[in-house]
A and B are shown apart, each in its own frame.
Chain A
Amino acid sequence: MTFEPKIITFMCNWCGYAAADLAGVSRLQYPATVRIIRTMCTGRFDPGFVLRAFEKGADGVLVCGCHPGDCQYIEGNLKGKDRVEMTQKMLEGIGIDPERLRLEWVSASEGPIFAELVREFSETIRKKGPNPLKESVSKTEGGEEVAQI
């Protein structure tokens, strides 16, 4: 069976989510790899979300927010950006490829850009292969124990 990545996506209500919606109503084709979680703003993003996603076996995490300056909450997206960068540093240190986490600005009108982004990011993750944590969970005997910690 070919590897189909699972990508958890955190989207802001105003831009990212609307863009995904637009991509949907425009009937744009994009891979069914993304699982979208709506947040009110990328400023709601918490490093714990990403770490928890990888812990549970996600292959990639995508965060989409409004372009800088367009945030409904003035600077929530910039706070989100800081946190994503911080999380990337943490991921690199603990041994997960930081490129598995990505932040992109997608405005509400950019449905085609969103579809292209998902295609491209899915391809990147497919090349990187599955999350090493997921492999160990299914392969090793103690896997379940590790996954439950």
Chain B
Amino acid sequence: MTNTLTIGRKARERSTTASVPRHRTRSARPPWQEPPTTVGQAAKGLTLGGMLAVVLVPLWIIVVTSFSTPGAINRAGGLVVWPDGLTTEAYREMLGDPTVSTSLLVSLAITGVGTAVSMVVSVLCAYGLSRPRSLGHRFVLVLLIITMFVSGGLIPTFLVVTGLGGYDQWWALILPGCVSVFNILILRSFYSETSAELIDAARMDGAGDWRILWSVVLPTSRAVTAVIALFYAVGYWNSFFNVMLYMPTDSQKWPLQYVLLTYVNRGVGLPGSINAGFGNTHAQTAPLSLQMAVVVLTLVPLLIVYPFVQKHFRTGVLTGAIKG
């Protein structure tokens, strides 16, 4: 992420001398470019098509299998590629299962609370550091940047968190990693670019810094705020190692990723829940479809949010950084 930042700066410098990368809406070939060769086009199509297939085909197979009837899975001998018999049985089973449904709630709560905490802390800090020549901002900036190069590492951090009483506590899953200096620096570089005229005008009207942040800076940098919020949210949603460190014993407190790891990846049965479920009483549900349903469940929130934020990648992180 810093890379995007640094490169943004570089590209900006470059573009001020060149002043070219406006909207590249040209979808027609520029007149000076030679027509493509058939071989070249075919190779390009195959490579890009292959790249799409490598990402999309596994996801397709997993989704189809999660919706497949036991019969379809039997006929396919495992994973189902072409829809054969479809059912939502696996999903009903999964959401009725105490371990999975609890873990879904846990994951949603950690992601929601964690993202909120991270965003409040980061946005405040980024704005606090973004005003030129404010007292002490250089010192704080250096304090932040040092952490990007030196860190105590795994064990000292573990000892600090457990020393502060974090073992088996919810906050241990959120606070230790809730500040990302990368993200603060990205936000800061955008906030610094908020037009000085706008801010001066607000100040003339009697707005303090809190008011300026809330009513001027935040509304003018929605795209980058959304992208950073997504980065944080994805980080919380995907985290499992801190659970392994700080909350390994009580399966009722596990988030979804840890359930996925334990149950699907390692194939371990969860105490008194899924395993007992389809091992004995619900033998008619195919375990594979249930496993794939858990995989899909970890994907769903991402796929819901992605299209909305993804258009901001372009306007936010990428073009925002380039256009300067």
A and B held together in a complex: no
Q: Which residues of B are interface residues toward A (Cβ below 8 A)?
A: none
